[in-house]
Each structure stands twice: as structure tokens, then as C-alpha cells.
Amino acid sequence: MLFGYARVSTADQNPDHQIDALLQAGVEQGNIHLDTASGAKSSRPKFDLVMQLLREGDTLKVTRLDRLSRSVLHLVTLGADLRERKIGLHVIEQGIDTATAEGRAMFGMLSVLAELQRELIIANTDDGLAAARARGRVGGRRPRLTPEQATLAQELYDARIRTVQQIADLFGVPRSTVYGHLDKNTTVLREPKKRPAEA
């Protein structure tokens, strides 16, 4: 079965172009789901509904990648989840179709870029914390994360790279602070994915 997902950032934006493209791609009107939410907003009820409705052998169709994902890391995590569930992904305007070798290769490249992006952000954060400690700023924990740190915390959590405790340690805040910034709809207690042993 084909499912379509569309998103506009505000109620003033017109989703007709996306809906028309999904209809032309073979998605039935009743299987098209629309969210009105910014790309950075973690709560997208219609997207969550589509992910629950999808079954093995189904295909998810969107017009562009930026309608689907709020970050490269989230996109790669989503792509991996769809592959594990044997669900196809077709990005109409960008010609990405995981049913083809080219589409799968595209996701492979995105995965490499996401890993690099994540490692660079973590390294920069670690450097910043080390510099602060070197200057004697070690007392008193910050009660909140910056928007950039909150986004990184969500991405690390979604990708199961680090536990909540490890994320809290990374930013020097209590676990409760990290939990306060995570999307409540996806937050569950879990361990990070085991990373392959380094040679």
C-alpha cells in the first residue's frame, strides 16, 4: 500500500502542490496525511500516525526530503528504521526511491555524512567543556540546554548513540534536564546501539 506524507510550516502555507504530487504518484486521497508544523518541531502527530500505519511491503511517499525530516541525522535514522521494517521510501521531486540501487546508495551516503556531522558536533562540545574546565568554570550545573544542545540531545537519543545519562554527562547537566528537552512521545528507557569494535 502507498502512503503519502506532506508538511507545511504554518497554516498560511498551501499544501496543494504536495498533495497533487502525491496523488499523481499513485497515493489515494485517504492515505495522504498532512502536518502543520515547523521542520524543527519534534511533535508531528500525522507523521507519527503514518509510521504506525506502515506495514512490511508498504511505501512511504513524500515530495522532498525536507518535508519528511528535521535533520540529516533524523533522516538517516528514519531510513534505517524503514529498511529494517521492509518499507519503501520514494522522494518524488528528488528522484530517490529505496526500491532501486541508486536510492539505497543515496541513503548510504547520507549515513556517512550524518555520522561525520554527529562526531564533529560531539567533538566541538567536548572541546568547549574542556576549555571551560581549564578556566575553572566547573561549579554549578546549568539548569537548561541551549537550543543547539537540545537539538543534538534529541538526535543522539533518537539515533540511540548515547543513553540519557551519557548525554547528561556530555553537557554537564542532570538527567532530568535532558529528559525535559526530549520529545515525550518517543522517550523510553533504553540502551544505546552497540557500536562496531574499532580495529
Has 38 been annotated as catalytic? Answer: no
Out of 9, 38, 43, 176, the active site residue is 9
In a domain, 66, yes or no: yes
CA dist 177 and 173 (Å) reads 6
Per-residue pLDDT tens for 3-50? Answer: 999 998 877 788 999 999 999 999 999 999 999 876 555 568 899 899
Which residue segment(s) compose the domain that 123 sits in?
A: 105-181
* pLDDT top residue among 176 and 196: 176
Q: Are residues 85 and 137 in the same domain?
A: no
In a domain, 40, yes or no: yes
In a domain, 20, yes or no: yes
Q: Are residues 110 and 56 in the same domain?
A: no
The one-letter amino acid at 111: S
Per-residue pLDDT tens for 134-184? Answer: 665 554 445 577 777 888 888 888 777 678 888 887 877 888 888 887 876
In a domain, 197, yes or no: no
* Look-up of cell digits 541525522: 73
Cβ(64)–Cβ(91) below 8 Å: yes
Q: Are residues 49 and 126 in the same domain?
A: no
In a domain, 186, yes or no: no
Beta bridge partners of 35: 7
Give the number of domains in the chain: 2
